[in-house]
Amino acid sequence: MSNRIISPVGARFVGQSVQRKEDRRLVTGHGQYVDDIKVPGALHAAFLRSDVARGRITKLDVSAAREAPGVHGVYTWQDFHEQFGEAYHVMMGEALVVPPPLAIMDVRHVGDPIALVVADDRYLAEDALELIELELEVDQAVVDYRTAADDSDNVVHAGWGLPSNVMVAMPFMPLAPDLDEAFASAAHVVETLVDQNRYNCVPMEGRGIVATWNQGRGEMDIIASTQSVHETRNFFARYLDIPEGNIRVTARDVGGGFGQKMFVFREECAIVLAARAVRGTVKWIEDRRENLIASGHSRNESGTVRVAVADDLTITAMSVDHVADVGAYPPCPAVLDPTLLTGPYRIPRMGFSMSMVWTNTMGKVAYRGPWMFETTAREIAIDATARAIGVDPVELRRKNLLSFDELPYTSAAQREMVEITPLETLDQALEMLDYEGFRREQEAARAEGRLLGVGVSVYVEPTSMDAPSLHTEGATVRVEASGKVVAYLGTTSHGQSIETTMAQIVADTLGVAYDDVIVVQADTQSTPYGPGTGGSRTAVLAGGAAQRATESLREKVVAIAAHMLEASGDDLEIADSTISVKGTPSKSVTLFEVAKLAYRQAHTLPADVDSSLEATVRFRPTRFPTWSNATHICVVEIDRVTWRPTILRYIVSEDCGRMINPMVVEGQIFGGVAQGIGGVLYENFVYDNEGTPLTTTFMDYLLPTAAEMPHIEIGHLETVSTTNPGGFKGLGEGGAIGSHACVTNAVSDALAPFGIVVTKTPLGPNDIFELVRAAGHA
């Protein structure tokens, strides 16, 4: 595959694991997360939240709280209801309205904010919460999304006058005229119910916002833990009905997001309104309980997958009937992207139905690969299908996976698959494991009574996805008076190493040192608009913008240098911040000398030479999405006494195109895989039948620790993308997308001697014990 790997000419930084610009401040404790930023005179906020999942407010008396020491304001819906305007995000559309900042007449999930106290500090604010008199008449909560659609007695949004719990229901749609015939005539049709549990983003830094209202200027200044400063600004411009230019949103360091912080939350709306009410600064830093019960959940969806297979193992058709729990107030309800169901496979026919159902639980948020269920459903179903028809799941995949050589391939859903390597990554991953060798080892282990299993998962990731509002990114790149370079980007990093990777691109494109490039982002008053950092967009879009803007800047540098050197621009080259005549290195000027002339002696330039050393570009890729792909394989052993599963090996073969920084690429994969492993084996967000959350601390909601995480082995293929000038692809979400099915399939394979096919998660020791007991083996 070497013919598809770019060897960047003259690249010194792109492709290298250069050390991160972000790290020095972060390892010394000098990061500036939102709670680290001290605004003099700031007041602190705390929310009174519902302890019941569904009920009507019969009494809400905040008068005692208003008199409590240090309290500056106590707010309920009555205080806010005429204080705001439109509340929607462009990406999600005007129809999906952010719910009211505080509950109006009723509560719809545990954690629903009812009142807001603003006080001198958080301790005093929480003291005052205890003085609020609240009475609720409790109604039967809707908790199980599988039965919610048929429950017309208990309706989550009855308060809006809605008759049912169904948010969206799309009837079955065949994407091939002969789909029914294909199923009817197939040698094998296997139906699998894939059921994925509820788990959460859980960034280590929760949500937080500091809002300051400047009464004199009519300005709102917001510092937020967000994935998008610009969309936060645009949202609040509509919400407060003031010009965008009167709102400044910044973020310095953001402690993880994973999708959760892509959109403005109702609590943040309340804080902004409170800041305007007190004509000052209000700060809200949520605690972990709030983050776990009220920031939003993800996954919790299921699908019945049907796979039709011919005698020669060709998959002739696939369909899914999908149901997702979107909670009460979903900032980002999952949308099954049917084009992804067939993923990297040659499956000529497909069909799907989908529904999204409201429940009295926290709302659904985006989580690293919001479209992962398509992969989860397909990959678990393929293993179950292989088991049912008695073939090795790798054999079934090999027969049906696309390979690079047969591309482009148009899928049943009319998506053009290009520049991907599904079969090739499978082969690489199998070789890294020594699959045949493992199967022999497994046979021997099984003879000794050990439960050893292998799981495979293959997927494509639609990076830089095709959502109209996400089609562009901007960059402004400037040579400063000192000859150093600043790149202003529309991104909002929350751990993606953007300062580093974008500086690598700028440094190479201009011909300067990595250390001479500063990246500025996450400030609406200085950076070009960007819709947000998410959806594995940054490498493709911000990378493209940074490169194109730097190319444009380079032309300006060359034009000035050509005048200074009395040479043709075509004869010049730039390296190490020095512009010289090709072949005559002694004839040169430094970038500082160019800057000196441009900033101080522009009058010496001819009229047709632009003295500006700044370029702005809004970049749009040539095609959407930019596909990347990978294969995951893992080996699991289950203890026969405790039923605890342990991952013995975890292998990823991935193709994210040309790598900007291999260390960063691998870090993204490690972290994504950890979240998938966590979701299957450790993390499970649980509500009881009344809708009360039971996993509200880290003692109950278990994140994987270093003791549980396996060492991950990674193989790389680099099929260059042609959607962007650098040949990059995104990869931020893939680790999380592929790992859920991979681990599930490995557990299933380990339990195969008991005749157990695993299609449901979570898979903690107790879940596995129950499966084994149900099968009559424990």
Partner 1 sequence: MHEVALTVNGTNMRIEVEPRMTLADALRDRCDLTGTHLACEHGVCGSCTISVDGRAVRSCLMFAVQADGADVMTIEGLANGEELHPVQKAFQAEHGLQCGFCTPGFVMSVTKFLETTPDPTDDQIRDGISGNLCRCTGYQGIVRAVKRAAAELNGQS
Would you say 474 or 735 has its CB closer to partner 1?
A: 735
**By C-alpha distance, which of 268, 41, 255, 581 is closest to 247?**
268
Judged by CB under 8 A, does residue 644 bind partner 1? no
DSSP, residue by residue, 408-465: SEE-TTSPEE-S--HHHHHHHHHHHHTHHHHHHHHHHHHHTT-EEEEEEEEEEEEES-
Would you say 36 or 614 has its CB closer to partner 1?
A: 36
**Minimum CB distance to partner 1, residue 712 (Å):** 6
Contact code string over 163-202 relative to partner 1, x by CB under 8 A: ---------------------------------------x
Judged by CB under 8 A, does residue 119 bind partner 1? no
**CA-to-CA dists, residue 739 to 578, 615, 632, 671, 730, angstroms:** 47, 41, 7, 11, 17
Q: Regarding beta strands 645-655 and 626-638, do their DSSP bridges make them parallel or antiparallel, or are they unpaired?
A: antiparallel
Judged by CB under 8 A, does residue 612 bind partner 1? no
Judged by CB under 8 A, does residue 476 bind partner 1? no
Cβ contacts of 515 within 8 Å, gap of 6 or more: none
Would you say 641 or 707 has its CB closer to partner 1?
A: 707
Residues 234-293 touching partner 1, rule: CB under 8 A, are 253-256, 258, 287-288
**Minimum CB distance to partner 1, residue 711 (Å):** 7
Exposure string of 703-720, with b = 16+ CB inside 10 Å and e = fewer, is ebeeebebebebbbbbbb
In the list 27, 105, 447, 607, the residue contacting partner 1 (rule: CB under 8 A) is: 27
For residue 262, give the DSSP letter: S
**Minimum CB distance to partner 1, residue 57 (Å):** 29
Q: Are 368 and 336 in contact (CB under 8 A)?
A: no
Judged by CB under 8 A, does residue 38 bind partner 1? yes
Task: Please identify, among the stretches 21-29, 64-72, 544-552, 621-629, the one whose residues bind partner 1 according to the rule CB under 8 A.
Answer: 21-29
Would you say 601 or 705 has its CB closer to partner 1?
A: 705
Question: One-letter amino acid identity for 252?
Answer: R
Would you say 492 or 723 has its CB closer to partner 1?
A: 492
Number of neighbours of residue 448 by Cβ within 10 angstroms: 7
**Minimum CB distance to partner 1, residue 485 (Å):** 22
Residues 674-713 touching partner 1, rule: CB under 8 A, are 674-675, 697-699, 703, 705-707, 709, 711-712
d(CA 415, CA 101): 40
Q: What angle do CA 341, 342, 348 make, to 5 degrees?
A: 135
**Minimum CB distance to partner 1, residue 204 (Å):** 4
**Minimum CB distance to partner 1, residue 283 (Å):** 12
Q: Which residue's entry shows tokens 């700060």?
A: 283
**By C-alpha distance, which of 440, 459, 471 is closest to 541?**
471
Judged by CB under 8 A, does residue 639 bind partner 1? no
In the list 574, 664, 717, 756, the residue contacting partner 1 (rule: CB under 8 A) is: 664
In the list 30, 146, 582, 777, the residue contacting partner 1 (rule: CB under 8 A) is: 30
**Minimum CB distance to partner 1, residue 300 (Å):** 19
**Minimum CB distance to partner 1, residue 156 (Å):** 30
Helix (H, G, I), strand (E, B) or coil at 552: helix
Residues 748-777 touching partner 1, rule: CB under 8 A, are none
Cβ contacts of 232 within 8 Å, gap of 6 or more: 222, 224, 226, 249, 264, 268
Cβ contacts of 314 within 8 Å, gap of 6 or more: 399, 400
Q: Are 199 and 684 in contact (CB under 8 A)?
A: yes
DSSP, residue by residue, 291-357: HHHHS-BEEEEEEEEEEEE-TTS-EEEEEEEEEEEEESS-SS-----GGGTSTTB----EEEEEEEE
**Minimum CB distance to partner 1, residue 148 (Å):** 30
For residue 626, give the DSSP letter: E
In the list 1, 8, 10, 24, the residue contacting partner 1 (rule: CB under 8 A) is: 24
Would you say 256 or 625 has its CB closer to partner 1?
A: 256
Residues 203-222 touching partner 1, rule: CB under 8 A, are 203-206
Contact code string over 346-375 relative to partner 1, x by CB under 8 A: ------------------------------
Q: Are 510 and 550 in contact (CB under 8 A)?
A: yes
d(CA 272, CA 221): 9
Judged by CB under 8 A, does residue 26 bind partner 1? yes
Token pair listed for 523: 């400030």
Would you say 35 or 151 has its CB closer to partner 1?
A: 35
**Minimum CB distance to partner 1, residue 121 (Å):** 8
**Minimum CB distance to partner 1, residue 255 (Å):** 3
**Minimum CB distance to partner 1, residue 668 (Å):** 8
**Minimum CB distance to partner 1, residue 359 (Å):** 26
Would you say 391 or 663 has its CB closer to partner 1?
A: 663
Would you say 256 or 330 has its CB closer to partner 1?
A: 256
d(CA 79, CA 59): 16
**Minimum CB distance to partner 1, residue 372 (Å):** 17
d(CA 265, CA 228): 12
**By C-alpha distance, which of 283, 285, 286, 270 is closest to 120?**
283
Would you say 95 or 699 has its CB closer to partner 1?
A: 699
Would you say 538 or 588 has its CB closer to partner 1?
A: 538
Q: Are 768 and 760 in contact (CB under 8 A)?
A: no
Would you say 285 or 591 has its CB closer to partner 1?
A: 285
Would you say 673 or 772 has its CB closer to partner 1?
A: 673
In the list 4, 16, 35, 154, the residue contacting partner 1 (rule: CB under 8 A) is: 35
Would you say 642 or 705 has its CB closer to partner 1?
A: 705
Cβ contacts of 114 within 8 Å, gap of 6 or more: 47, 48, 49, 50, 57, 60, 76, 102, 103, 107, 134
Token pair listed for 569: 């621009």
Contact residues for partner 1, defined by CB under 8 A: 17, 19-20, 22-24, 26-33, 35-36, 38, 121, 123, 202-206, 253-256, 258, 287-288, 494-497, 663-664, 666-667, 670-675, 697-699, 703, 705-707, 709, 711-712, 735
